[in-house]
Amino acid sequence: MCLSIPVRIIEIEGDTARVSAGGTVFTAGLQLVQDAKPGDYVLLHAGFAIQKITDEEASEILSLLDEMEDPDKKQE
């Protein structure tokens, strides 16, 4: 099973981006995603952004991941 996580692009230099997830900053390759810009959310897998997603999709995924980590945080 593969897992990708939503990250927000902080800055871009060439085909590499600095991205943030939960306060942790990673480096991501942007070779697989077109038209990415700072502020966009992308799915990060194995060091590569594999797909752009909307803010709403990122929020939903992050909420579900939080819920899996702590079931008592379940939103109504």
pLDDT value at residue 32:
97
* 5-73: CATH number: 2.30.30.140
pLDDT (tens, 9 = 90+) of the chain, 76 residues, equals: 678 999 999 999 999 999 999 889 999 999 999 999 999 999 999 999 999 999 999 999 988 888 887 767 655 5
SS3 call for 10: strand
* Rounded distance between C-alpha atoms, residue 18 and residue 26, angstroms: 6
- The CA angle 36-39-42, to the nearest 5 degrees, is 55
Question: What are the C-alpha distances in Å from 20 to residues 28, 38, 42?
Answer: 10, 11, 10
